[in-house]
Amino acid sequence: MTGIWGILNTTPDSFSDGGRYVDPSVAIDRARLMHSQGALIIDVGGESTRPGAVRVDPRIERERVLPVIEALTDAGIPTSIDTLNADTAAAAVRAGTRIVNDVSGGLADERMLATVADLGADIALGHWRGPSEDMYAHATYARAAREVAGELRARVEAANAAGIAPARIIVDPGIGFAKTAEQNWEVLRGLDEITALGHRVLVGTSRKRLLADALHRASGPDPLSERRRDLATAVTSALAARAGVWAVRVHDVAATRDALAVAGAWDGA
């Protein structure tokens, strides 16, 4: 059964929920709600990775995420830390997080993989070709799914070499990172190339631009509400579940929970 990660961005500038969960008590309420709706993990982030985002001082990042992680750990709610910084990952694990979610697959901070190995935490390795400022400069692929799988395999090998056990590794094709909308769809169509790596697979499409493109094609100039993006995300979640992914990372946990339940009923699960 595909699991759900609930997104909690404690940032003022994330592309869809920026500014909403900067106040720790509001963030914690949001996390509790997502947990009660069926999220396995609350993915806490303190630095936006949206296209064009500028880097945040790691001390500010830690001030944003640590109070939330501590409170959720006390409440028995499992978390992951969405960070590019090894020091933030270490502080989060000391505060109770068990999974480090690094969208750069360990490339942004050369100390990340060794740090996670020392911490004994799990790691989600994302497919990444460069910082958000200019990631579209790297969006060239002949066969997107195959190349993404090959580059992820190299990150898995680097993680193993740093001392992270294979069972601790999750891979993520990095939807929206250095990929055009069409390349993202190509990767999703080829998810079997990613599941063939033999690790748990995490996929994040929630509210991303590829969905906006598909919705615009369907309805022309209708306004693109959050509700429509969440409904579209529920559909991609069900399709990703069908492709055998281990978990999907979403903003609207209840919509995806329902979509997965219906897809499961179709499959007789």
Stretch that binds ligand PMM, among 13-21, 60-68, 106-114, 225-233 (CB under 6 A): 13-21
Q: How many residues bind ligand PMM (CB under 6 A)?
A: 21
Instruction: In angstroms, give the least distance from the CB of 62 to ligand PMM.
Output: 17
Q: What CA–CA distance (Å, rounded) separates 155 from 123?
A: 11
106, 105, 110, 89: which is closest to 148 by C-alpha? 105
Please select the residue that binds ligand PMM; options are 6, 44, 46, 49, rule is CB under 6 A: 49
Task: Determine if 230 is a binding residue for ligand PMM (CB under 6 A).
Answer: no
Task: Determine if 16 is a binding residue for ligand PMM (CB under 6 A).
Answer: yes
Q: Which is nearer to ligand PMM, 7 or 259 (CB)?
A: 7
- Asked about 208 being catalytic, the answer comes back as yes
Task: Determine if 175 is a binding residue for ligand PMM (CB under 6 A).
Answer: yes
Tokens 């997107």 sit on residue: 144
Stretch that binds ligand PMM, among 32-40, 168-176, 219-227, 240-248 (CB under 6 A): 168-176
For 102, the token pair is: 């690094």
Q: What CA–CA distance (Å, rounded) separates 95 from 222?
A: 44
Instruction: In angstroms, give the least distance from the CB of 124 to ligand PMM.
Output: 5
Cβ(259)–Cβ(234) below 8 Å: yes
In the complex, the residues that contact ligand PMM under the rule CB under 6 A are 7, 9, 14-16, 45, 48-50, 82, 101, 103, 124, 126, 172, 174-175, 202, 204, 206, 249
